[in-house]
C-alpha cells in the first residue's frame, strides 16, 4: 500500500453555527493579502481575525479562513494546528496565560501559577469549575524585564503581576469588564 493511503486529511466538522466574516473583517483580511505576493502568507492574520471573532478556532472558522483565501481546509488547518496560540478547542470563556519561562519563572511566575491553581480551583486541565477560566503556562511572552507576565485572552498583557493584581484581573473578568490592551512599558532610563 502506498504511503499516501495512510494520510487522513482533516475534514471540517459540522456544527450549526454560520461562520462568516463581516465586511470590516474582510477588508482587514484584504489589507493583509495585499501585503504579500501570495495569499497563503495571509493565513496567520486571517486566522487571528477569526479567533478574535469567535474566541477560538472551531473547524468551521478554519474553513471560513480557507474559503476566504481560496486555500484548502487541510492547508489552513495545518497552520492552525502548528501554533499553540491558535486555540483549536474551547475550554473556558477566558484564557489566562502565566509566563513561567526564563526570567518569569525566576521572578515569581511559577509561584503565581501555583497560586492561580488554588485560587481558581483549577482541574487537571487548568479549567475552573464555573468554566470561566482556563489557565495555562506560557512560554516567553517577550517582556522579560517586566516579569512575571500574564496574558489574558491572547492579547492583553499585564506586567509585574503579583497575586493581588492577578486577583484583580480575575474579578474584572468575572464582572464582565473589558480588559484594556496595555503595551510593554519602556524601561526607565
Could you give the CA distance from residue 29 to residue 116 in angstroms, rounded to a whole number? Answer: 36
Does the footprint of ligand FES cover residue 46 (CB under 6 A)? no
Sign of the CA dihedral with 93 first, then 146, 124, and 77 last: positive
Q: Taking CA 76 as the corner, what is the angle to CA 33 and CA 135, rounded to the nearest 5 degrees?
A: 105
Does the footprint of ligand FES cover residue 99 (CB under 6 A)? yes
- Minimum CB distance to ligand FES, residue 107 (Å): 8
Q: In the complex with ligand FES, which residue's Cβ is closer, 40 or 153?
A: 153
> Which segment (38-46, 55-63, 143-151, 162-170) binds ligand FES by CB under 6 A?
143-151
Q: Which string of x and - marks every residue 123-142 that binds ligand FES (by CB under 6 A)?
A: -----------------xxx
Instruction: Give residues 155-184 in contact with ligand FES (rule: CB under 6 A).
Output: none
Of the residues 26, 71, 74, 101, which one makes contact with ligand FES according to CB under 6 A: 101
- Minimum CB distance to ligand FES, residue 80 (Å): 24
CA R_g for the chain: 19
Q: Do strands 150-152 and 133-138 pair parallel, antiparallel, or not at all (unpaired)?
A: unpaired
What secondary structure does DSSP assign to 139-172, as a single string? S--S-GGG-S-EEETTTEEESS--HHHHHHHHHH
Q: In the complex with ligand FES, which residue's Cβ is closer, 49 or 149?
A: 149
Grid coordinates belonging to 86? 491558535
Of the residues 30, 102, 121, 168, which one makes contact with ligand FES according to CB under 6 A: 102
Of the residues 47, 76, 96, 104, which one makes contact with ligand FES according to CB under 6 A: 104
Find out whether the peptide bond into 168 is cis, omega within 30 degrees of 0.
no
Size of site (CB under 6 A) for ligand FES: 12
Grid coordinates belonging to 50? 477569526
* Site residues for ligand FES per CB under 6 A: 99, 101-104, 140-144, 147, 149
Amino acid at each position: 500500500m502506498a504511503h499516501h493511503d495512510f494520510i487522513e486529511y482533516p475534514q471540517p466538522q459540522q456544527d450549526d453555527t454560520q461562520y462568516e466574516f463581516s465586511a470590516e473583517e474582510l477588508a482587514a483580511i484584504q489589507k493583509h493579502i495585499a501585503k504579500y505576493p501570495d495569499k497563503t502568507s495571509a493565513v496567520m492574520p486571517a486566522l487571528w481575525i477569526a479567533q478574535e471573532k469567535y474566541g477560538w478556532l472551531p473547524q468551521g472558522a478554519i474553513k471560513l479562513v480557507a474559503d476566504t483565501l481560496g486555500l484548502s481546509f487541510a492547508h489552513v488547518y495545518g497552520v492552525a494546528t502548528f501554533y499553540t496560540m491558535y486555540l483549536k478547542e474551547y475550554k473556558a470563556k477566558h484564557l489566562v496565560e502565566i509566563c513561567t519561562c526564563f526570567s518569569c519563572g525566576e521572578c515569581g511566575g511559577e509561584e503565581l501559577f501555583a497560586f492561580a491553581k488554588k485560587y481558581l480551583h483549577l482541574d487537571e486541565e487548568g479549567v475552573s469549575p464555573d468554566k470561566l477560566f482556563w489557565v495555562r503556562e506560557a512560554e516567553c511572552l517577550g517582556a522579560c524585564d517586566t516579569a512575571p507576565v500574564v496574558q489574558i485572552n491572547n492579547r492583553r498583557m499585564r506586567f509585574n503581576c503579583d497575586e493581588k493584581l492577578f486577583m484583580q484581573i480575575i474579578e474584572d473578568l468575572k464582572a464582565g469588564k473589558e480588559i484594556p490592551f496595555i503595551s510593554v512599558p519602556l524601561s526607565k532610563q
